[in-house]
Structure formats: structure tokens, C-alpha cells
Structure 1
Amino acid sequence: MTARRSNGGFASRPRDEHAWIKTRDPGIGAPPASDLYTARLTVDITPALRGRIKIAAFQRGETVADMLRALLAREFPDIDGGKS
């Protein structure tokens, strides 16, 4: 039997958390056109709320991700010009 090679980076912790946050993961969809960097956010919600969100996005003719990005941008405006 041959030994299995480790890919070395699967579960490794980042050395610099700020650089890690701004690193784009090429395996996860396309980022918004206006942003070079993206981050994934996971939120636990009820199935009923998920259904309401999906229906609202469908009725507006947009994706859930686009709708929630716009909602979060309205709720949390960029007040420092993106310097943080």
C-alpha cells in the first residue's frame, strides 16, 4: 500500500487573519461585480423564514444572496469609506 499524501492546507489555521479574511475563495461562485473580496456568512434560521425569504426574492426577480446583500448594505452602511 502506498502512503496517502496530505494536501497540507485543508484545515490549517491562517497565519494572518486579516489577509485570510480578504482572500477570495475561487471555488465559491462569482463575487459581486463591485467587490474583489467576499466572505461567506452562515446564519441559522427557521425553515419558515427561509421559505419567506425565498418567496420574496422570487417575487422581486432576484437571487436570495443578492437580496440579502442589499438588505445588509442598507442596514449597515459603509461609514468609513471601506478602510476597515
Structure 2
Amino acid sequence: MTRRPRSTKLKFWPVDVKRRTKPRKAPRQSRRKRNAFSARLTIDVTPDLRARIKITAFERGVTVAYMLRLLLLKAFPRTKGGRR
């Protein structure tokens, strides 16, 4: 068997030297790292309820997580004296 010759495609650098030597920005931190005091909450719901929640969130133009956070904040408002 004979091997195929490797493809020798040329790669061109950008014409603008400043663009080529520009330092890269530091990667953005994820939301989880920015908000160190958040926690995950897992609940079991029926497939029917899950579908209704997703449809409602889509109709409102928000994410399911955002909509559920608002509902939980309404049900469990902050107290003036701190934690109970």
C-alpha cells in the first residue's frame, strides 16, 4: 500500500499586524463562579407539569430557571430580621 501525500494547505496570517499581536482577553467567569452564594435545587415534577412550565416560560420570554426563581421569591420573601 502506498500512503497518500499529506495535504499542504498554506495558512495565512492576518494582514493587520496589530490584530495578530493583540493580547487575548481573560476568559469570562461563569455565572456560577460570579455568584458564589447560589445553590442548585432539584425537584421531581410530572412530565405534564414540566411541559406546562416550559410553555409558560417561553410565552413570557424568560427562562424556566428565572421564572421559577421569581415564583420562589414571591412565596418566600426576605424577612427584615435576617434568617428565621
The reply to whether TM is greater than 0.5 is yes
Residue in structure 2 matched with residue 51 of structure 1 by the alignment = 51
Residue in structure 2 matched with residue 30 of structure 1 by the alignment = 31
1:83 deviation in Å?
Answer: 4.7
Alignment map for 1:8-19 (pairs within 5 Å): none
Residue in structure 2 matched with residue 39 of structure 1 by the alignment = 39
Residue in structure 2 matched with residue 79 of structure 1 by the alignment = 79
Residue in structure 2 matched with residue 11 of structure 1 by the alignment = none
Gap regions ≥5 residues in structure 2? 1-29
Q: 1:63 to 1:81 in 2, by over 3 A?
A: farther
Identity %: 54
Distance of 2:48 and 2:81 partners within structure 1: 36
Higher RCO, 1 or 2 (CA under 8 Å, sep at least 6)?
Answer: 1
Distance of 1:67 and 1:36 partners within structure 2: 21
> Under a length normalisation based on structure 1, what TM-score does the superposition of the two structures give?
0.55
1:81 deviation in Å?
Answer: 5.5
Gap regions ≥5 residues in structure 1? 1-28
Distance of 1:82 and 1:47 partners within structure 2: 36
Amino acid at match of 2:37: Y
**Which segments of structure 1 move beyond 6 Å, counting only runs of 4 or more?**
none
Larger-gyration structure (1/2): 2
Identify, as 1 or 2, the structure richer in helix: 2
Paired residues, number: 54
1:80 deviation in Å?
Answer: 3.6
